[in-house]
Amino acid sequence: MSKSHLVAKSPSRVSILLLLGLLMATLTKTGAQIGVCYGTVANNLPPAQEVISLYNQYNIQRMRLYGPNHDALQALRGSNIEVVLGVENERLQDISSSQDSANDWVQNNVVNYNDVKFKYIAVGNEINATGPDAPFVGPAMERIQNAISTAGLANQIKVSTAVYPIILEKSYPPSTGSFRQNYRPFLDPIIGFLVGNQSPLLVNMYPYFSYIQSRDISLEYALFTSPSAPVNDGDLQYQNLFDAILDAVYSALEKAEGGSLKIVVSESGWPSDGGDRQVTTKENARIYNSNLIKHVKGGTPKKPGNPIETYVFSMFNENEKQGEATEKHFGLFFPNKEPVYPIDFN
Ligand SMILES: *[C@@H]1O[C@H](CO)[C@@H](O)[C@H](O)[C@H]1NC(C)=O
């Protein structure tokens, strides 16, 4: 074998190894679509450093934070956990009207944590599309995007907002999905922004709430355990409510010039207590979340084979959550870090 041949060979071996490495990185990524929301509306949660350890212990590789919680951000330094960071609803008005405010927010909460792996900035959570804060969302997204671009982070971090499916006028069957007309002044600029920046739309999605609001839906269909597909929609069959809601939002986006958008499910979950005793059980919560984790590795009937990036709500039971009693019982873990029910992220 000639020397030149050997020389030629070694770089190609390096590139094969590189390729393999890249391939494995891609495989790991697609296998790990699941994150967990780190909600902190409680007075008894463990210190942030212990929470990060718990994420690592359970191999939870993504986290949603609702606002710039500096203890959490500090604890995340140097970790591989990918983070969705929220801009607090209370800051939207100020940020929407001032580029300096947006720049400060990004400097203090993103740029200063350059060893944290931010993936998305969620500008506002579940803003009422016809409420007083609605007009601030689009402009606040633009200003945060400007700040992110100025900081040279536009390729790493996408800017979006988290909505909920109440924005749908129609959702059944999924192909008829459309947005409420009176929500379009809120949604259209957001959709335009997301399309322009190739950012995903974040959607908080709870088959649980649809189920308790409409007893036409079977519990099995809501829990991913239906043995058959009770919903036929043209050529597509729906075996679970999660897919049906998600595809209804995709259909609505198509009708609003958002057909190119990807949806990230920024919240989903099932309460383990606090409601109807037949429904809000640990067993049902375990079934829902276990099936959710498995299910999102594939796609929906409308988008088969496209893994659905999904964030389970929530890491802990949060004892200071307001509203229905169930709100306090969405956690995968008790504040003492014991699991509420067995759950496997691998
Ligand atoms: C949204 O805001 C409008 C106007 O203030 C109000 O009538 C409506 O009840 C609100 N909807 C929700 C879901 O809070």
Mind listing the pLDDT tens digit for each residue in 130-188?
Answer: 999 999 999 999 999 999 999 999 999 999 999 998 889 989 999 999 999 999 999 99
pLDDT for the residue 109: 98
The counts of H helices and E strands in the chain are: 11, 12
In a shared domain, residues 126 and 188: yes
pLDDT for the residue 346: 84
Task: Specify the amino acid at residue 92.
Answer: L
324 a catalytic residue: no
pLDDT for the residue 83: 98
Mutate to test the pocket of ligand 1, among 128, 168, 322 (most ligand atoms within 8 A of CB): 128
**What is the rounded CA–CA span in Å between residue 248 and residue 168?**
8
Asked if the structure places residue 303 within a domain, the reply is yes
Q: In 3D, which of 132, 126, 30 has the Cα closest to residue 87?
A: 126
In a shared domain, residues 95 and 216: yes
In a shared domain, residues 152 and 221: yes
In this structure, the number of other CB atoms found within 10 A of the CB of residue 31 comes to: 12
CATH number at residue 313: 3.20.20.80
- Look at the chain and count its residues: 346
Q: In 3D, which of 39, 32, 76, 83 has the Cα closest to residue 58?
A: 32
126 a catalytic residue: yes
**What is the rounded CA–CA span in Å between residue 324 and residue 319?**
12
Asked if the structure places residue 67 within a domain, the reply is yes
In a shared domain, residues 16 and 73: no
* Residue in 82, 142, 267, 309 annotated catalytic: 267
In a shared domain, residues 74 and 214: yes
In a shared domain, residues 12 and 149: no
> Structurally, how many domains does the chain consist of?
2
In a shared domain, residues 12 and 88: no
In a shared domain, residues 265 and 300: yes
Asked if the structure places residue 338 within a domain, the reply is no
Q: Which residues line ligand 1 (CB under 6 A)?
A: 128, 130-131
Identify whether 290 is preceded by a cis peptide bond (ω within 30 of 0).
no
CB 171 within 8 A of CB 245: yes
In a shared domain, residues 272 and 231: yes
Between the CA of 64 and the centroid of ligand 1 the distance, in Å, is 26
pLDDT for the residue 1: 39
> Which domain, by its residues, includes 5?
1-31
* Structure confidence by residue, pLDDT tens digits, 220-253: 999 999 999 989 999 999 999 999 999 999 999 9
What pTM was estimated for this model as a whole?
0.91
Residue 325 makes CB contacts below 8 A (sequence gap 6+) with 273, 274, 275
Asked if the structure places residue 345 within a domain, the reply is no
* Residue in 50, 88, 90, 126 annotated catalytic: 126
In this structure, the number of other CB atoms found within 10 A of the CB of residue 305 comes to: 7
Mutate to test the pocket of ligand 1, among 125, 127, 130 (most ligand atoms within 8 A of CB): 130
In a shared domain, residues 56 and 111: yes
In a shared domain, residues 83 and 163: yes
Asked if the structure places residue 337 within a domain, the reply is no
Low-confidence ranges of the chain (pLDDT < 70): 1-32
Atom 13 (ligand 1) nearest CA = 128
